[in-house]
Amino acid sequence: MAMKEFVISEAQVETAILVGLVTKAQDERKTNEYLDELAFLAETAGAEVVKRFTQKLDQANSVTYVGKGKLEEIKEYIRSEEEAEREIGMVIFDDELSAKQIRNIEAELKIKILDRTSLILDIFAMRAQTANAKTQVELAQYKYMLPRLQRLWTHLERQGGGSGAGGGKGSVGLRGPGETQLEMDRRIILNRMSLLKERLAEIDKQKATQRKNRGRLIRVALVGYTNVGKSTLMTLLSKSEVFAENKLFATLDTTVRKVIIENLPFLLSDTVGFIRKLPTDLVDSFKSTLDEVREADLLLHIVDISHPDFEEQIEVVNKTLADIGASGKPMILVFNKIDAYTYVAKAEDDLTPRTKENLTLEELMKTWMAKMEDNCLFISARERINVEELKSVVYQRVKELHVQKYPYNDFLYQTYDESEE
């Protein structure tokens, strides 16, 4: 269709300021990594980060998160940008804010305030495709909103009645339940939440039935931090396209595919990635999505070895698995993206101690293989390095599990002709 009648103005990108704390528990390097991730989240949601503020505090200030002076500094920055006709769209805080903190900060800065949780929820709302995912996200959003209703009221009055700049439908942080819906009072929200819960229970039941009808096949789940390459690997192993991109939370809904390696069929599922500082409430809301992980016979824990912080990511994933009751399962640790691994080579005469940044890929592999008693693999899903090795390891493990779980099931030994798929 011809578009010549229309003048398409350039989509206006909202700008964002990030705020994080350096505390006893979180040193400056950590804080910067967290803020890198927060910036990636903001970018995924469609905002451009123009400035970061950090402050050293023993712990977050219960009234305004940062101290009074720092808040003043942020306010000053926003004002000066405004004067230069560069309006700041929002301020995003790296930790979950209380109702009180949001109210006070907003009163001071008079600008849209988000925190890590509401930003993640916003991305989830943007990404949700199926009825199941949409219901789960909506429930999680109400859970977040409920204790902060006060804030939402004042927030929306300003959004609706103000100059109109930056607000409105579809902007970062305001997707999901529409503005009219937000005018509901607490009681109505609670009613809506119980309706959503009923709906999810219904979906859970259907899913459980579906899972039961899948037959006697071993179930393997891909788990891992967000953006590590789970969906890319799923596509590779199942030979059918699964959505993957270089954004956070590209996958929200679980995909289950039947995969056959040699003569062995099994089920492989790809599911939502995990992230740091993800509130348990949010994880709970994804119960039915995560059932797939909980009921898996074998986990393939995918790690992005090219990420500077992959070790902490492994810990976050293990902790989240424990939180959802999926720890203690047979697991293979799969280090992905070996093609993108980089390290800082040390000069021969440099006698300062080597740090993890100085390890070559070979050294790192050795360390992990010793630690995992060889129960790990190093691959590149994108460059197809060591994928055959991965397949044969998965084949062995699935076969063992299959014989254990279904000793009388002989269809393992039929030979499948790959060309018949």
Ligand X SMILES: Nc1nc2c(ncn2[C@@H]2O[C@H](COP(=O)(O)OP(=O)(O)OP(=O)(O)O)[C@@H](O)[C@H]2O)c(=O)[nH]1
The footprint of ligand X (CB under 6 A) covers 224, 226-232, 244-246, 248-251, 273, 336-337, 339-340, 380-383
Residue 379 CB, nearest approach to ligand X (Å): 7
Q: Quick check: 282 and 117 in contact, CB under 8 A? A: yes
Nearer to ligand X, 158 or 277 (CB): 277
Site of interaction with Mg ion (CB under 5 A)? 230-231, 250-251
- CA gap 46, 15 in Å, rounded: 9
| C-alpha–C-alpha distance, residues 78 and 88, integer Å | 6
Report the residue number whose CB is nearest to ligand X: 273
Buried b (16+ CB within 10 A) or exposed e, 243-261: ebeeebbbbbbbbbbebbb
- Between 387-405 and 230-238, two packed helices, what is the crossing angle to 10 degrees? 80
Q: How far is the CB of 245 from ligand X (least distance, A)?
A: 5
Amino acid (1-letter code) at residue 153: W
Q: Annotate 143-197 with three-state secondary structure.
A: HHHHHHHHHHHHHHHHHHHCCCCCCCCCCCCCCCCCHHHHCCCHHHHHHHHHHHH
Orientation of helix 28-45 relative to helix 116-127, angle to 10°: 30
89 versus 273: smaller Cβ distance to ligand X: 273
**Residue 248 binding: pick among ligand X, Mg ion, none (C-beta 5-8 Å cut-off by kind):** ligand X
Minimum separation from the CB atom of position 250 to ligand X (A) = 4
Could you give the residue ranges of the DSSP H alpha helices within 221-309? 230-238, 280-285, 287-294
**Bridge partners of residue 377, in order along the sequence:** 334
Angle formed by the axes of helices 131-145 and 116-127, nearest 10°: 160
Kindly tell me which of 72 and 245 has the beta carbon lying closer to ligand X.
245
Q: Considering the complex, what minimum distance in angstroms separates the CB of residue 225 from ligand X?
A: 7
Residue nearest to Mg ion according to CB distances in the complex: 251
- Find which of ligand X, Mg ion, none residue 134 binds, CB within 5 to 8 Å per kind: none
Distance of alpha carbon 243 from alpha carbon 208, whole angstroms? 25
Which of 152, 139, 142 shows the shortest CA–CA distance to 183?
152
Sign, CA torsion 381/130/160/103: negative
Q: Report what 245 binds from ligand X, Mg ion, none; CB cut-off 5-8 Å by kind.
A: ligand X
In the complex with Mg ion, the residue whose CB is nearer, 250 or 332, is: 250
Residue type, position 129, single letter: Q
| CB closer to Mg ion, 20 vs 224 | 224
DSSP codes joined into one string, 327-384? TTS-EEEEEE-GGG----PPPTT--SPP-GGG--HHHHHHHHHHHTTT-EEE-BTTTT
**Complex with Mg ion: residue 127 or 143, whichever CB lies closer:** 127
| Partner whose binding site includes residue 226, from ligand X, Mg ion, none (CB under 5 to 8 Å by kind) | ligand X
Residues paired with residue 255 on neighbouring β-strands, in sequence order = 270
Q: Based on CB atoms, which residue is closest to ligand X, 141 or 336? A: 336
What is the dihedral sign for C-alpha 319, 323, 328, 329?
Answer: negative
Per partner kind, with CB cut-offs from 5 to 8 A, the member of ligand X, Mg ion, none near residue 199 is none
CB of 197 to ligand X, least distance (A): 26
229 binds, among Mg ion, ligand X, none (CB under 5 to 8 A by kind): ligand X
Q: How far is the CB of 241 from Mg ion (least distance, A)?
A: 12
Q: How far is the CB of 130 from Mg ion (least distance, A)?
A: 15
Least gap, CB of 344 to ligand X (angstroms): 19
| Choice between 251 and 380, CB closer to Mg ion | 251
Residue 322 binding partner per list Mg ion, ligand X, none, with a CB distance cut-off of 5 to 8 Å that depends on partner kind? none
Residue 70 site contact among Mg ion, ligand X, none (CB < 5 to 8 Å, cut-off depends on kind) = none
Q: Name the residue nearer to ligand X (CB basis): 106 or 291.
A: 291
The Cα 369–Cα 391 span in angstroms is: 18
User: Shortest Cβ distance from residue 381 to ligand X (Å)?
Assistant: 4
* Binding-site partner at residue 246 among Mg ion, ligand X, none, CB < 5 to 8 Å by type: ligand X
Q: In whole angstroms, how close is the CB of 281 to ligand X at the nearest point?
A: 20
Nearer to ligand X, 128 or 248 (CB): 248
